[in-house]
Amino acid sequence: MRRKRLRQLYVLRETTNPSTGRTERLAVYTGAYYRFSQPTAAERLHLLHIMDFAFALCAAAFVGYGFMDLPSTRSYLVLPFYLAMGLPLFFWGRAIWRVWRLPPRFTQVQREGSVRAGIRSARGIAVLCGLFVTGEALLLMTGQTNGSLPAEIGWAGGMAACGATAVWSARAARALDDRAVRVPEPEPEPEPEPRH
């Protein structure tokens, strides 16, 4: 659905390459352009550091838990949610990378792939962390910890902290996205005249 909407922001134009004489189809962006209105460079940097910190914490917890040998790492109450975290974590990191590389004036496609993708991915991580903690709590209540109660409680608390920082990151990204204002489109480039 989103891809179809973003595809409508482009128009195909046919041009003739003067050196080869072949007709080429070129996609030209016709959508809106944006820039961040209010935040100073220091405010934008602060919001990006919040997103970086939350991502680093969640990535460290994800990798660290993968090396643990606990009953919850083999439990159907916890393991599916842990395994599912890998995909939104990857997209979250990619979105943060794209936010760092945003030019001062950016397109709707760049906005969707950076700031808004970061919001969606952080929310997905928060939901999966909540489900992980719920599964861990059910595992603890049923007494299936086999003597590793402190470690299980520690990982449940760590994933709860990851979920909280993911929500914090999503709010920071939303604050950044709310400051994106539409700017006038650049002057269209004149079509090259064919050479004879």
Q: Give 138-179 pLDDT, tens digit per residue.
A: 988 888 777 788 888 999 999 999 999 999 999 988 988 888
Cβ–Cβ under 8 Å, residues 121 and 99: no
pLDDT, tens digit (0-9, with 9 covering 90-100), for 81-140: 999 999 999 999 999 999 989 888 889 889 999 999 999 999 999 999 999 999 999 988
* Count of C-beta atoms within a 10 Å radius of residue 112: 18
Cβ–Cβ under 8 Å, residues 88 and 124: yes
- pTM here is 0.83
Q: What are the residue ranges spanned by the domains of the chain?
A: 2-32, 34-183
**Cα 44 → chain centroid:** 17
**Cα 84 → chain centroid:** 15
Looking at the domain 34-183, which fold is it?
A: Four Helix Bundle (Hemerythrin (Met), subunit A) (1.20.120)
CA distance 154 to 65: 11
Count of residues making up the chain: 196
